[in-house]
Structure 1
Amino acid sequence: MTNTSKTGFGATVVIDDPLTVGPEPTSKIVGRAQGIVASADLNEFGYLFVLNFVFSDGKYNGSSLSILGRNQVNLPAREMPIVGGTGLFRFASGYALVKTRFLNASNGDATSECNAYVLHY
């Protein structure tokens, strides 16, 4: 990470977070959001997201969706491409609309709402 960038450029975090039905901490867990988040912009808070939504509940158990894209967190809503999937989401394409529901800038904790629009076979 560069020590001169106000955005933390170069900082990289690996995540394995609960994937839930709703934004509440008590909401039903249906899988895991696993991947890499990297600060990829010297001037704005823009992150590279490389994520897999791995489902472990219901009819999507064992399936996953893959998201790869830019997440500019200061915008009210961001669009990121869905670039693939497995299981019931094999050959998936589409996009995810992401909104920040909660952000603690001091420790990086965040809750996001993600609405995925998926075409698959």
Structure 2
Amino acid sequence: MTTCHGDDYDQADEVWQQAKEADREEVTTSRYPVLYPPDSWDVMSMLALYEPGVTYRRQQDGELLHPDGSWARATATGFLDSPTVHQSGTRLLVTTLERIRNRLNREGSLPAYGACVTITPDGVTTLKRGSWTFTL
């Protein structure tokens, strides 16, 4: 998770508020209980690969914010209840998070864990595990 500092620190709440008030939000119901990604390092690591720069907070149940203004919020009545998800922006953050959780449930682990890393002389870094590859 990135840290806030300088001018960014004082504006963090304002950015979250603007994101929550954005137009054209998509509202769905998730099949998974709310997950705070920093509590699950493997899920958070995969999300950081696919959506770098996402910040998290627990104001309600769970909120995600990307530097490009994309945001998501998931709220549920009970601990294991299916949450209502609100998201908007060019990146559907909870959709990406759910794809990661689907893979974790299907395979029992995520490919970033145990991946082999190749770094070329010009600095291109590629992670590979089985048929999965990801180039940074």
TM-score relative to the length of structure 2: 0.26
Which is bigger in relative contact order (C-alpha 8 A, separation at least 6)? 2
Mark the structure with the bigger radius of gyration: 2
TM-score relative to the length of structure 1: 0.29
Which protein is richer in strand relative to its size?
1
